[in-house]
Amino acid sequence: MFWRLVTLVLCQASAAGVGWYLAPVAEEWQVTLAMTLAGGYIWFVVDSVRGLRLLRWLRAGSLTDLSLGNGLWGEAYDRMRRSLRASSRLTVESEGRLKDFLAALQASPNGVVLLDSDTRIEWFNQTAADHFGFDVRRDLLQHFGNLVRDPGFTAYLGARDFLHDVTMPGRENSTAKPVTLSVNLHPYGDGRLLLLSRDITAVEQAEAMRRDFVANVSHEIRTPLTVLAGFVETLQTLPLDDQERQRYLGLMSQQAQRMQTLVSDLLTLSRLEGSPLPSTHEWVSCDVLMQQCAQDAHDLSHVLWTQSHDLHFEHSEGCEIAGSVVELHSAMSNLIGNAIRYTPSQRRIDVEFKRLPDGGAVFFVRDQGHGIAQEHLPRLTERFYRVDRSRSRDTGGTGLGLAIVKHVAQRHGAELTIDSTPGKGSTFSVTFPSHRVRYAMDGPMNRAVPTTSA
């Protein structure tokens, strides 16, 4: 302000000096006064022009430089320019942080929806769009309840109790492919809500499988235990002759063997799921595997049936598979055992280990049993799934054999395929990739194992 007054006085003094110097002697004081007033007016006009330039610069919101010189307006301009540039910098940084924050929400594996105080949609990420079927151009500022009409969620929103979540079907939910979402609301700001959605379909399926598994195991163990308990009570309370006692003891032994087989299969599955993958540097001889499987099949056929099956084994001689001999033997024995259990006696069962043109190999078991309807095929590898429960129990099956085969195949990079026609029999195949198979350079390609039994 001081310099502003100084410039005004200097301008008026300069104008007065010019007037006094140029005016006649008789009119010196009049001219000097007029020139002083004119100097003040000129200073006022120049000062106003500088002020107007600053005002236009502020209204335009421009960040370009403006030359106003020194003085009040120059200093005001400098201070305003620094303040505006600092504010602009903060705005840019805030926008950058906001974009980063929204990008982080966009990358979230959970669905994120921002709702205002009236539950209108302010923003949502792509995951939420997939969960609820939202479209960014159509559904912004729409009421969430108008777009998602699940009764459970409506009640959850109306109760305003957001300490727990609520489950609801997803947009793509169907009977064939169920989709379940977990939705949770979190209040924030001035009445706003943050909605988080999570796809828990896999978790729900795993929980259902766990419940079914526990129920099936309990049922499978309870049945033979009930039989054993009944026989024990009979032996303890009733006078029996030697023939009856031996019959009861035989039935008890059968039920105990059934429980032992079940526990053994459960332990096998547990070991397969919890152990490292089999090595690719340990090679197992197919010749030895096939000989062991042939002997096991011959014994099992004689135990289960009065007249055994027509068994035919054939394999590529000199073939080796990279993997675990215990797991491979378990998988092959389960496939052969299933064929023997579910194929009537004296019918043919073919077991072959064959080389493929790409260097891989396929192990398959073909029977002439009753066959399996197509609707059962996708579920055959589920634990405890049986097409005919009564026949399975009669032949000693646990319902875990194909689940073991599937796990072994996956652990060896192989693929299990099932082909069956009701009334014509079934073929179960395990195809091994070429990097898991090697062959001897010499010797015949195929050798039949003489284990055919009448």
User: For 220-267, what is the HEC assignment?
Assistant: HHHHHHHHHHHHHHHHHHCCCCHHHHHHHHHHHHHHHHHHHHHHHHHH
CB atoms within 10 A of CB 233: 10
What is the reported pLDDT for 288?
A: 92
The DSSP secondary structure of 297-337, one letter per residue, reads: HHHHHHHH-SS--EEEEEEETTEEEES-HHHHHHHHHHHHH
What is the reported pLDDT for 210?
A: 77
Closest CA to 440 of 286, 291, 273, 262: 286
pLDDT in tens, 78-110: 777 777 778 778 888 888 888 888 888 888 889
Question: Quick one: tokens of 220?
Answer: 């499978």
Q: What structural domains and CATH numbers belong to the chain?
A: 2-98 (no CATH), 109-199 (3.30.450.20), 204-275 (1.10.287.130), 276-449 (3.30.565.10)
Q: How far is CA 333 from CA 209, 263, 278, 279, 324, in A?
A: 26, 17, 18, 21, 14
Mean pLDDT of the region 106-125: 91
Q: How far apart are CA 200 and CA 173, in angstroms?
A: 12
Mean pLDDT of the region 398-416: 90
Q: How far apart are CA 166 and CA 197, in angstroms?
A: 10
CA 176 to chain centre: 18
Q: How far apart are CA 116 and CA 143, in angstroms?
A: 9
Mean pLDDT of the region 227-255: 85
What is the reported pLDDT for 29?
A: 56
In terms of Cβ atoms closer than 10 Å to its own Cβ (0-12, 13-18, 19+), residue 338 is buried
User: Does the pLDDT at position 447 exceed 70?
Assistant: no
Closest CA to 301 of 351, 343, 353: 343
Determine contact, residues 195/109, Cβ cutoff 8 Å. no
Closest CA to 340 of 328, 349, 332, 331: 349
What share of the chain has pLDDT > 70, as a percent?
79
Closest CA to 385 of 338, 421, 347: 338
What is the reported pLDDT for 62?
A: 64
| 121-125, 241-245, 321-325: the lowest-pLDDT one | 241-245
User: Does the pLDDT at position 17 exceed 90?
Assistant: no
Chain position carrying tokens 């491979």:
328
Mean pLDDT of the region 131-138: 88
In terms of Cβ atoms closer than 10 Å to its own Cβ (0-12, 13-18, 19+), residue 393 is middle
The DSSP secondary structure of 368-437, one letter per residue, reads: -S----GGGGGGTTSTT--SSHHHHHHTT--S-HHHHHHHHHHHTT-EEEEEEETTTEEEEEEEEPGGGE
Mean pLDDT of the region 171-186: 86
